[in-house]
């Protein structure tokens, strides 16, 4: 994934929402899963504060906590 690929998608949030980016080398990483669990517990508070969560993995990213739809990077197209 290139920095430019995700940066373009993040630009739409500028001055509107705060971003929380969870990066992991894979979806089964223990630290990633622990962070995801903690963030999920705080979902209501994050929404009230206009925090948008991106889960970034090497070949794709997922916007939000509930979404299972995978957005491909420009490098993967």
Give 30-66 as a 3 state SS string: HHHHHHHHHHHHCHHHHHHCCEEEEEECCCEEEECCC
pTM of the model: 0.77
Q: List per-block mean pLDDT (blocks of 10 residues) for the chain, which spans 77 residues.
A: 63 92 94 96 96 92 77 50
C-alpha to C-alpha distance for 10 and 13, rounded to whole angstroms: 6
pLDDT of residue 73: 52
pLDDT of residue 77: 41
C-alpha to C-alpha distance for 72 and 13, rounded to whole angstroms: 19
C-alpha to C-alpha distance for 5 and 28, rounded to whole angstroms: 24
pLDDT of residue 67: 62
Rg of the Cα trace of the chain?
12
């Amino acid at each position: 994934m290139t920095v430019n690929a995700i940066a373009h998608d993040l630009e739409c949030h500028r001055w509107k929402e705060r971003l929380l980016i969870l990066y992991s080398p894979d979806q089964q990483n223990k630290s990633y899963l622990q962070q995801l669990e903690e963030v999920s517990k705080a979902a209501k508070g994050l929404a009230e504060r206009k925090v948008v969560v991106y889960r970034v993995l090497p070949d794709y990213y997922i916007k939000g906590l509930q979404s299972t739809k995978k957005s491909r990077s420009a490098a993967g197209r």
